[in-house]
Structure 1
């Protein structure tokens, strides 16, 4: 396989592009760590998005994070086009040896001036619009996203990219969130269970009445527990950023008198910091799941129609529940309570607690 630089190149300039979702970027962190181990003197950069960039806060494997502005977060079309053009010019000036296309994007990446593009075959592109180095994936194999990223690393001579996910809570964010929660009665000395109720996809949503019944049952069984209720803020009918304010308000009202503390998070940095305060995490497949795995938290996770082999928690203790219908709503409260008890029975938390 051709290479943009020899295996003996001591300081290559590498750009990894990952402009999609939070969990996808979290699942790329083992590759970034392996690239840094292989080339300690490399200039290693990531092209993230304005949505997922906080995943890399405090990550010392990365020298520079370039931020691709999302359309939803831009202030007008002209401003968006101008900022994207400025970004292209800035990256071109870096003269990267290789751009690793973690989630495709040949059409955009070819503008960035690297000596070579490396990535998977892009299904909708003809043969002349493919990366310079096309990394094969075994036909029919359901690889985890971490394993797919490791295949990209292997094409560069990196053979140890299957390590743990890595996210780093910022100390100031953790302190701020802890103080906010204390004002609602949160006790840092009591074990806390994080429950994230939000999911963008209908197949991944558990009914709010189920959450209410689950919290009531578990609070009765485990009176020492307290609960952190996570959700994405906003109105459910917001066309750009739908949220779960109304659902969360109803759950909080129905569990009044129990140790349930509101924990809405707008930014990824807030999510990372607040999840670090929990002992265990309950959530559907999505960004919060992979952040929790990056923190080493034991996870009880709900899967709808997602492919388990590709998106299960990586490197953290977990119990995974998936209904035969592939709809999270069809999981019963009894099944989730049983899943939580199994999670408690597993070995203790692998919490890394790495504040920066």
Structure 2
């Protein structure tokens, strides 16, 4: 065990009583995991309303984190870009600048919510006490050598939803009682700022509209095109428009191919920023989509959302905090078209 782990600090060290606390949260990726990390901020503010909370996050997600109430600053972490030019002078200048800025903040505590070597390493750059996960939970990413960067390890029950895993870790790091799923859960997204960002684009979005999130980085998470088309026909026949967002050229091609079947009733918007995506999803009548970050944003907004799972992972990442969020599908039993239609009927849309 490292010298850091041998000198682990007691829980009482992290119980703050005086002044303004400075806390750094480290959760850099992926998009869905960043979303699921958000309620921990509201948990902190509920107990320590004067806390200064910074969040280290992959630069492509920083604008989303800036929408979270209570986050003082979203600090961009540019590892994906640095990996493309590891020997460039500019890369090392940025790394040195980040290390200096983190150390200069003098945080009271740093909480690594991701549990990977890269996140534990960058958390240590702050040169302050680091708290991290003590074990891997079922289905979640975890690299055990990360513990050698931690001053305190927090064990979590293996079968724990990703939202609750972070909430429990943060509570333990600050000496607070462990939250339960029944406690108030708030993702804190500023929908008014998101709506303004979307309005600035000047898109003509016919209301009501449904958002179809067909795109995912994994082919085995996709839903058949035939199902999207039949579901779209059912919604359009009820006076609904369709919006098909995308994130890369391949996804745009799929959106355009599906949209062609519906003529003016379907819209393929330009590539949207994450604040614009939040505005789009918040104003939608419903979002239907596969297990991916945009769908988790819709669920976080507590808007009518149907999450489509092809694996037995809904217990770990699916929305449980609102009756407006419906999780369908399981390992070996992907969601059927009829199940999705029944869910939409439950929302009064079909």
C-alpha deviation, 1:30, in angstroms = 1.4
Matches within 5 A, 1:35-54: 35-54=44-63
Query: Structure 1 residues 168, 131: closer, same or farther in 2, change over 3 A?
Result: same
Q: Which residue, 131, 150, 173 being the options, matches 1:118? A: 131
TM-score, length-normalised on structure 1?
0.82
> Runs of 5+ in structure 2 lacking a partner?
1-9, 136-141
| Residue pair 1:68, 1:84 contacting (<8 A) in 2 also | no
1:232 aligns with 2:250: no
Q: 1:192 to 1:274 in 2, by over 3 A?
A: same
Q: Distance in 1 between matches of 2:50 and 2:189?
A: 22
For residues 339 and 60 of structure 1, what CA distance do their matches in structure 2 show?
31
| Aligned counterpart, 1:103 | 114
CA RMSD, Structure 1 to Structure 2 (Å): 2.5
Q: What are the residue-to-residue correspondences of 1:279-318 with 2, within 5 Å?
A: 279-305=285-311, 307-316=313-322, 317-318=324-325
- The corresponding residue for 2:36 is 27
After TM superposition, the score normalised by the length of structure 2 is 0.83
Q: What displacement does 1:34 show?
A: 1.6
The correspondence of residues 259-270 of structure 1 with structure 2, limited to 5 A, is: 259-270=265-276
- Over residues 186-225 of structure 1, what are the superposed CA-to-partner deviations in whole Å (9 max), with x where a residue is unaligned? 33xx3221111111112211122321122113322x2x22
1:251 maps to which residue?
Answer: 258
* Bigger mean CA deviation after superposition, 198-207 or 168-177: 168-177
Q: Secondary structure at the match of 2:303?
A: coil
Encode CA deviations 1:223-269: one digit per residue, 9 max, x unaligned: x22222222231x3xxxxxxx12211211112225x21223534212
| Residue 154 of structure 2, aligned match among 135, 149, 154 | 135
Aligned to 2:209: 192
Q: Given the superposition, is the C-alpha separation of residues 256 and 214 from structure 1 closer, same or farther in structure 2, using an over 3 Å criterion?
A: same
The 1:146–1:270 alpha-carbon spacing in structure 2 relative to 1, beyond 3 Å, is same
Q: Report if aligned partners of 2:312, 2:331 keep a CA contact under 8 Å in 1.
A: no
**2:138 equivalent in structure 1:** none
| In 1: Cα distance, 2:22 partner to 2:79 partner | 25
Deviation of 1:149 after TM superposition, in Å, equals 1.3
Matched-pair contact (CA < 8 Å) for 1:34–1:158: no
Aligned mates of 1:7, 1:75 — CA distance in 2: 41
The answer on whether the counterparts of 1:55 and 1:269 sit within 8 Å (CA) in structure 2 is: yes
Moved more, 260-269 or 93-102: 260-269
Deviation at 1:280, TM superposition (A): 1.2
Which residue does 2:5 correspond to in 1? none
User: What secondary structure sits across from 1:174 in the alignment?
Assistant: helix
CA distance in 2, matches of 1:314, 1:82: 43
Specify whether residues 315 and 125 from structure 1 end up closer, same or farther in structure 2 by C-alpha distance, changes over 3 A only. closer
Compared with structure 1, are the counterparts of its residues 84 and 31 closer, same or farther at alpha carbon in structure 2 (3 Å cutoff)? Answer: same
Where does 1:196-215 land on structure 2 (aligned, <5 Å)? 196-215=213-232
Structure 2 Cα separation of the partners of residues 287 and 107 of structure 1 = 25
